[in-house]
Structure 1
Amino acid sequence: MNFKTFLCLSFFLSILHLTINAQTSELSVEKIMQDPAWMGNFPSSPYWGIHSENIYFDYNPDKNPADSLYRININEPQKIIKVTASQEQELIPRRGDFNDARTRKVFTINGNLFIYDMRSRKKRELLDLPFSIDDPVFMMNEDQIAFEAEDNAFLYNFENGSLKQLTHIKSGSGSEKKDKKLSDKDDWIQQENLELLEVVNQREEEKESSKEYRESINKDEDFIFYLKERELSNLEVSPNAKYAGFSLIKRERGKRTDVPNYVDKSGYTVNLPARSKVGDMDYTAELALYDLEKDTVFIIDTSELPGIKDLPDYTKDYPGKDWKSEPREVIPSKIHFSDNGEKAVVNLRSTDNKDRWIALIDLDKGSLTSIERQRDEAWLAGPGIGYTYYGYETLGWLPDNKHIYFQNEESGYSHLYILNVETGNKKDLTPGEYEVFDPFISNDKKHWYFTSSKVHPGERHFYKMPLMGGKTEQLTSMTGNNQVQLSPDEKYLAISHSYMNRPWELFLKENRVGSEPQQLTKGQSEEFASYGWREPELIQFEARDGAMVPARLFIPEENKKNDAAVVFVHGAGYLQNAHKWWSNYFREYMFHNLLTDLGYTVIDIDYRGSAGYGRDWRTGIYRHMGGKDLTDQVDGVKYLIENHNIDPEKVGIYGGSYGGFITLMAMFTEADTFEAGAALRSVTDWAHYNHGYTSNILNEPSKDPIAYRRSSPIYFAEGLEGDLLIAHGMVDTNVHFQDVVRLAQRLIELGKEDWEMAVYPVEDHGFVEPSSWTDEYRRILELFNESLLGQ
C-alpha cells in the first residue's frame, strides 16, 4: 500500500468513526423546548362537586391561552363537558364548613355569608354586611355560626337572625387623635370631589356605613383590646363560643432588594421590589387567649417552655463569642380547641427552627403546659411538620376530646402520632421506614385516610386505617404517584396518576380494596406519543460514607454509546426526582432522552438534602451545602465509571437553582471529576439568598459565618479549570441576577477564560418563553458536545 492510498484509507476511517459516533435523534432541543401544548392536554387541580356526582378539573382541549374548567359525571365517565361561566358561578365553593351530619354547609361568596342545604340542594344568603365575612364555622350549637370580619370574631344565629360581636379588637393604641377638622377650603374641595366622582363617593359611603353598623352592634362594649403596632393572625373561636385564640405578629423585614427590569414597556429601567437577604428578618409573635365570658385577653407566657433557653450546638464552634442564654422567640400556630371546647393545644416553634413544642393551654389561667417537645440540632421540617418550604402542620383533636394527633420525625421519618393529653401516653400509628403525607379523619370519625411511601420511596399510594391505629388498607394500586381526591360521600376516589414516562391523567375508582381504576382522560398528542419515552432505571449506589444513594439512570443502546456521561442536579434542595412518576422537570426529562439518543449516559441523583428519604437524608447538608450533596454527585460519577465504562475525561454536570449552585461547586472544587458544567439560575453566595430557606440550613451569616464561607461557590472560583456556562434570567426575583454578576466579576479578576454567560432579559427564576428555554438548552447541548466529545 503506497502512502497516498494509506492517507485516503485513514481519512475514510476517520470519517466513518465520526459518522458512527455522531448519533442522531428524532428529538431536538427546538422540539422539546417549544410550548408544552405540543405534548398534549392533561388535567390538573381536580376536585369533587359537593354531591359526589361530578369531578371538576382544569383542562384545555381547545388549546386556548389558558385552561378552562371541565367536569365529568361519574355516571357518564366517557363525557368530558366544559363548564360554562354561569354554571361555574353556581358551584358551591370548596372552602367552608359542614355540620356534623353533613346536611348543611356554610361558606362565603364575595364576602357574604351563605348556607347550603344538601337535601333540597338550595343555597340561601344569610348575611350581607358592609364588610367582608371570612372563615365561617358551625359551633357546637349548630344553629350558630362563628366567622371573622375586620380582625374580630362574630356569632350569628341563623334561626333567629341575631348577630353578636364576640371580640372587641381594634388597631392602634386607643390614644390616637381624632381626625383633624378640615379647613373651609379643604372641606369644599373634598365635597366637590365626592359629588363629581361616583366611585369615590360610593366607597366613602360604604366606609361610613360599615363604621355605623359596627358601632350599632357594639353599643355596650366596655373592653377593647388594641393591637398597637402588631398584626392579628390565626383568629379561632372555641366550639362552645367561650374563648377565642389569636396571634399578634410584629415583623421588620429589613432592607428589601431591587431587581432592575431593563425591558419594561415604558422604555425605562424599572426596579422590581424583591425580598430581603438572610439574617435580615426581625420577627416576634405573641399568643393571646380571649376569654369571651370575662371579656378579657391573656397574653400567654412562653418563656418557661422546657429548653427555651437552650443554645444550639453550632455555638461551640465560636468559643470567643459571648452567647446569651435567654428565652428564644417563638412562632405559634393557631390554637386548636377540642370539639367540646373544653381543652386547647397550640404548636409553638422557636424562630431558629430547632425546637417545637405542643402545649396544653389552661383556658382559665391562660398558661401553657408542654406535652410534646421535639428538638433537632439541624432544623425541624418534614411532611406534616410544617414551616415555609415543607408543607402544612398536622395537628388536631380526636373525637374523644382526650387525644391529639400530630406528625413527628423522632423515628427518622415523618409519622402520624396520637397523644393522650390526660395520661401523656403517645403512640406512633404508622411506624416504619417511610413517610406519611396529608392525613385526615373520615366523615364517620372512625378511620384515617393518608398517602404514604410505604411501598417504595419513589411511589405514593392512598391508605385507610382505624382511628386508633391498626391494619392499613392500600386503596390504590397503580405504580407511580396516586394523588387522591376522596369524594365528599367517601364512596369514590378521583386519582391523578402518572408514571415515569407518562404524564398525569385522571382516573376514577371505588373506595374499596381491589376495585379497578377507570381512566377518564387521555391527553397525549399523537406527536408526543409517537416517541418511545424511556423508563429510567432506578438504582442505588454506595456513597463514600456508606449511604446508599437513590438515582435515575438513562442508558443508551450499546451501539450508540459515546462513553460520556451527564449528571443532572435537581433544584430546590428539598425535592425528590428519582421516583416513579412524571417529573416536574419534564423538559429536562425530555432533554435526557435526547442526550441518551445521542449516546450519553445520564444520571439524576437524589442527593443528600432531597425529600422523601427521612430526617437524616434531609439534614445531611446542615451547615455545609456543597458537602455531602456534592460528594454524592462525585460518587455517582465513580459508580458510572466502574459499572458503565464511562470515560473519566468525559463527564459533564448541569442543573438549575440549587442544581446550579451544586454545578458551580462541582466545577470549582471537583475539577478532576467534571470537564464541563452548565449552572442555571444559580445561588453563588448563600448570604445573599432569602431568610426562610437559608437560615434553617446554615443558620444566620452573622452568627455562623463558617457555614456560609464553606457553602458559597464565590469563595472557590479560583478552582475553575473546565468549561463553564452560566445562564440566568435578568428579572429573577428569587435568585437575583446580582448573584452571577458578582461571580462574573470574581472570575474576571481571577483571569479565568473558559467560561461564558448567557443572560435572559425577560425571564424570572422559572423561565416562561419557549425561545428562552430553546436558547438555554441549545447552549447546554453545544457545551457537552464540544467539551466532552470534541464535536
Structure 2
Amino acid sequence: MRKSPLLLPIVFLLCHFSFLLAQNKQLSLEEIYDGTFSVEGLDKLRSLKNGKQYTILSVDKATATSSIQKYDYKTQNKLETIVSSSSSVPYFTSYEFSEDESKLLLATSVEPIFRRSTLGYFYVYDLKSKKISAVSNSKIQEPSLSPDGSKVAYVQNNNIFVWDIATNYTKQLTLDGVKNKIINGITDWVYEEEFAFVKAFEWNSDGSKLVFIRFDETDVPEFSVDVYGSNLYQTQTIFKYPKAGEVNSEVSLHIVDMDTYHISQVDLDDPYYIPRIKWMNDPHFLSVQTLNRHQNNLRLYAVNAINNKSNILLEETDEAYVSVADDLTFLADDSFIWTSEKDGFKHIYLYNVEGKLMNQLTKGPWEVSKFYGYDQNEDLFYYQSTENGSINRDVYSVGSNGENRRRLTTKAGHNAADFSADFTYFINTYASATNPPEYTLHNSLSGKKIKDILYNRALISKLDNYRINPKEFSTIAINGNDLNMWMIKPKNFDATKKFPLFMTQYSGPGSQKVSNSWLDTNDYWFQMLANEGYIVVCVDGRGTGYKGAEFKKVTYKELGKYEVEDQIAAAKKLSELPYIDESRTGIWGWSYGGFMSTNCLLKGNDTFEMAIAVAPVTSWRFYDSIYTERFMRTPQENPSGYDENSPFNYPELLKGNYLLVHGSADDNVHLQNTMRMVEALVQANKQFDWAIYPDKNHSIKGGNTRLHLYTKMTNFIKENL
C-alpha cells in the first residue's frame, strides 16, 4: 500500500539530551522574554593575520566591564587580555583592528538610529603604546581605520571627516551634508533597510583614496512619526521614506584623493541604485555594483581610480529580479568569486580579472548559502550550503576546477564556520532543533575535529527541568510542491484525542522558518502553547528560500497570492488528520507574517477561526520602494497585483476572531497600515481586537513591552482557539 504523502517525518532526536525526556516544569512567559534561555557564544570573534590566534569580546553587562581576549587556535589556551575597560579605557561593546593590527577601534555608548544605523563615541587604542584617544568629542557614525592605522574616517551630520591620529588634526572632506537633503558616506533609510548596509564609504588597500556614495534625497517624500513620550506635547520624527512608485534618492559615486583631498565623481552611466562598492587588491581599482529600478539588471563595474574610467566586468539579468549578495571576493590577482542564481540555484562562479568566466565551482539542485574564502596555498574554496537538505547547513571545500568537493562537517543541523586567516583551522558553530550552539575547532583540509571549545551545558542543564517537545520535521504535499514543515505536539500526546491547530509563519520572499536550528525566543513560546494543549505547525510555502530560484520567484508581481493559498491548503490538509480539531484553527505572524495571517483569516474564512497580526503590511502601496518594487514592480505598472491581495480591500470577508497589533513609532511598516485596516473593518461593521504600543518601533520591545504583548496574544489564543 502506498503511504500518504501528507507527512514524511524526519524527527531529529538527540539521544544524550535528557531534556527531551518527560519533565514537569512549565515554561513561563516571564522566563521566555527575560533572557532566561539565552545561549552562550564567542562574541565578535576575529582571526589574527598570523592564522595562529584569534580574539573574542568579553562583556559583563551587569558590571559594565569589557575586555578583548586572545586565544591560541591549536591549544585553545588564553594567551593574554589585550585590553580591558578601566579608569582610562571606557566600557566598550565592539571592536575592530586596523589592517596592520597595530590599533583597535573601540565603540562606546552606542545608540540605535534605525534598524542597522547607530551613533556612538569611539576611541583608538594603540596596542604598542597602550595610549587611548577619542576619535571625536561628539557621537559619530561608522568610523573606519585606514589600512596603516594612521587615520580614521567617519560621518557626522551627513558629512565625511578624516582624523589624523598622530597630529590630532580633523579634516572635513564634504561640506554639503544636510539632514533630509544630502547624505555623504551613509546610506538613506531605504538602502539601510533593504540593501542591508549603512557605511557607504571605503578605504582602498593602501589608504591613498577613499570612495563614497552621495545621496541626494531632496525630492524623496517625507514621512513623520509622532513620539508621545511623557511631556505635555508630543514630538515628531521626520525622515525621507520612498514608498512604492515614489521618488528615490539620486545617487552618485565619488573618490577622494587623500594627498590633495580632491574629490572627483565617477561616471557610471547614471545608475539608479548603487547597492555595493568594494575596492580590489590593486589600490587603483574599485568594483561597483549598480541596479536599475526594476532590479532585474545588475552590473558589476571595474573603475580605474586614477582616471575614473569604468568598464563592465559582469552583467546579470532576470525576468523577475537579481538578488544582491555579499559574496564578491577578490583573489590575490583580482580575479574574483561571484555567486549567482543564473542556473536556477545559487552557486559559485570564478571569473578572471577581465570578467571572463573561468569556472562554475558548484552545481546542483541545492543552494550555496555563504561563501567563506579561498586558500591559495591549497587551491581550495570554502563555502556553506544546503547540499544535505534545505533545512540544514554544512561547510564544504572545493577545488578551483570544481572537483574534489568535500563535506567538512558531519552533524545534521546548522553548521557555520569562522576560518583562521591562513585557512589552517575553522571554528565550527553547530546547532540543531535539539542541540543548542556548540563551538569546536577543526582542521580545514580534513574537517577533523581538533578540540572542543564551548558547549551550552548550563542551558542544557536548565532545560532538563522543563517540558520541551521536539519539533517533528516533515514535508507536506501542497499545490504540487513538497513544502517543508515542522510540528510540535503536546507533551503526552494522545492520537485518539483532538487538538486545536495553531500555525506560525513568515512567508516572505527568500525567507526560511522551517529550519533544523536551535530554538529562538518564539520557539519557547510555541513550546509553551504546545504544553497548553495546542498543536503548533510551521509551513514554508512557495516564495520562501533555499529551494531554488523558480520556487522563490513564483510570487513575483503577486505577493500574498500563492503564499496565502499554500497556508490555507496546508491548514485544510492538516485538519484531515484524526487528532486535529478542524473547527479550531488559528494562524499568526509578524510584519510580512502579519500580512499573511490577515489574508489567511479573510480569504480562508472557512478554514481559520482565529488570526493574530503584529505590525502587518496591509497594502504594498504603503511599503518602501526597494523591497516592494523588487517583487511587485511599481503600483503604476502593476495595480492589480497591489490591490487584489490587500486585506483592507475585502474586510467584509472577516468571520473569525482577529487581533491586530502595532507600534505607534514603527518607521518600517508604518502604523498607517493598521489604521487603514481598522477603518475598513469599522466601516464593514466587523468586530475585532486591537492594541497600539506607544512609541514602539517595528520590534515592539523595551521594558515590559514584549512580556505584555505575548501575554495579550497568549490570552487571545486561549480565549478564541
Structure 1 counterpart of 2:383: 450
Structure 2 counterpart of 1:410: 342
Q: Distance in 1 between matches of 2:462 and 2:203?
A: 55
Amino acid at match of 1:481: H
Structure 1 counterpart of 2:584: 650
1:130-279 alignment, distance < 5 Å: 134-137=144-147, 148=153, 171=175, 231=184, 245-252=211-218, 254-262=220-228, 264-273=229-238, 276-279=241-244
Other structure's SS at 1:549 match? strand
Distance 1:328 1:519, change over 3 A: closer
Structure 2 counterpart of 1:747: 681
1:776-791 alignment, distance < 5 Å: 776-788=709-721
1:562 aligns with 2:498: yes
Post-superposition CA distance 1:611-654 (Å, at most 9, x none):
33332333233222211111121121133134455333221111
1:357 aligns with 2:293: no
Structure 2 counterpart of 1:96: 98
Amino acid at match of 1:667: L
Structure 1 counterpart of 2:361: 429
1:572 Cα deviation after fit: 5.8
Amino acid at match of 1:550: N
Distance 1:536 1:106, change over 3 A: same
Structure 1 counterpart of 2:26: 27
Gaps of 5+ in 2: 1-22, 107-120, 187-199
Which has the higher mean CA deviation after the structures are superposed, 773-782 or 446-455? 773-782
Amino acid at match of 1:347: Q
Amino acid at match of 1:634: I
Post-superposition CA distance 1:322-349 (Å, at most 9, x none):
xxxxx7624263253343x565543222
Q: Distance in 2 between matches of 1:59 and 1:163?
A: 30
Structure 2 counterpart of 1:331: 274
Post-superposition CA distance 1:700-749 (Å, at most 9, x none):
33443222212321112111011112222333333233322222221111
Other structure's SS at 2:298 match? strand
Structure 2 counterpart of 1:540: 475
Q: Distance in 1 between matches of 2:33 and 2:349?
A: 47
1:579 Cα deviation after fit: 0.8
- Please state which structure has a larger fraction of its residues in strand: 2
User: Is contact 1:656–1:682 with CA below 8 Å preserved after alignment?
Assistant: yes
1:361-372 alignment, distance < 5 Å: 361=303, 366-372=308-314
Post-superposition CA distance 1:44-69 (Å, at most 9, x none):
53414747556524566xx8387955
Other structure's SS at 1:736 match? coil
1:686 aligns with 2:588: no
Q: Distance in 2 between matches of 1:661 and 1:67?
A: 42
Distance 1:154 1:602, change over 3 A: closer
Structure 2 counterpart of 1:580: 516
Structure 2 counterpart of 1:19: none
1:128 Cα deviation after fit: 10
Q: Distance in 1 between matches of 2:212 and 2:704?
A: 49
1:314-325 alignment, distance < 5 Å: none
Q: Distance in 2 between matches of 1:363 and 1:488?
A: 28
Q: Distance in 2 between matches of 1:82 and 1:245?
A: 32
1:410 Cα deviation after fit: 0.8
Distance 1:77 1:504, change over 3 A: farther
1:427 Cα deviation after fit: 2.0
Structure 2 counterpart of 1:64: 62
For residue 500 of structure 1, the aligned residue among 414, 430, 433 is 433
Structure 1 counterpart of 2:5: none
Structure 2 counterpart of 1:206: none
Q: Distance in 2 between matches of 1:590 and 1:155?
A: 47
For residue 757 of structure 1, the aligned residue among 659, 676, 690 is 690
Which has the higher mean CA deviation after the structures are superposed, 664-673 or 441-450? 441-450
User: Is contact 1:53–1:73 with CA below 8 Å preserved after alignment?
Assistant: yes
Post-superposition CA distance 1:540-576 (Å, at most 9, x none):
12221x1221111223412574242111113765432
Identity %: 19
User: Is contact 1:502–1:582 with CA below 8 Å preserved after alignment?
Assistant: yes
Q: Distance in 2 between matches of 1:518 and 1:244?
A: 42
Structure 2 counterpart of 1:708: 642
Distance 1:650 1:440, change over 3 A: same
Structure 2 counterpart of 1:659: 593
- Please state which structure has a larger fraction of its residues in helix: 1
Amino acid at match of 2:313: I
1:232 Cα deviation after fit: 5.3
Q: Distance in 2 between matches of 1:523 and 1:80?
A: 26
**Given the two structures, how large is their TM-score scaled by the length of structure 2?**
0.77
Distance 1:111 1:593, change over 3 A: closer
Q: Distance in 2 between matches of 1:625 and 1:419?
A: 35
User: Is contact 1:573–1:610 with CA below 8 Å preserved after alignment?
Assistant: yes
Distance 1:643 1:26, change over 3 A: same
Structure 2 counterpart of 1:614: 548
1:435 Cα deviation after fit: 1.9
Distance 1:726 1:168, change over 3 A: closer
Other structure's SS at 2:598 match? helix
Amino acid at match of 1:276: Y
Superposition RMSD in Å: 4.4
User: Is contact 1:277–1:687 with CA below 8 Å preserved after alignment?
Assistant: no
- Which structure: larger Rg? 1
Structure 1 counterpart of 2:670: 736
Amino acid at match of 1:760: Y
Q: Distance in 2 between matches of 1:721 and 1:651?
A: 13
Structure 2 counterpart of 1:187: none
Other structure's SS at 2:316 match? strand
Q: Distance in 1 between matches of 2:704 and 2:210?
A: 54
Q: Distance in 1 between matches of 2:259 and 2:665?
A: 53
Other structure's SS at 1:632 match? helix
Pairs aligned (count): 650
For residue 333 of structure 2, the aligned residue among 400, 404, 411 is 400
Distance 1:681 1:129, change over 3 A: closer
Q: Distance in 2 between matches of 1:171 and 1:248?
A: 12
Gaps of 5+ in 1: 1-23, 99-103, 117-121, 139-143, 174-227, 304-326, 387-392
Q: Distance in 1 between matches of 2:653 and 2:646?
A: 13
Amino acid at match of 1:404: F
1:663 Cα deviation after fit: 0.8
1:169 Cα deviation after fit: 6.2
1:124 Cα deviation after fit: 8.1
Other structure's SS at 1:278 match? coil
For residue 283 of structure 1, the aligned residue among 229, 234, 249 is 249
User: Is contact 1:35–1:770 with CA below 8 Å preserved after alignment?
Assistant: no
Structure 1 counterpart of 2:193: none
**Given the two structures, how large is their TM-score scaled by the length of structure 1?**
0.71
1:761 Cα deviation after fit: 3.3
Distance 1:70 1:374, change over 3 A: same
Distance 1:434 1:49, change over 3 A: closer
Q: Distance in 2 between matches of 1:764 and 1:516?
A: 45
Other structure's SS at 1:582 match? coil
Other structure's SS at 1:431 match? coil
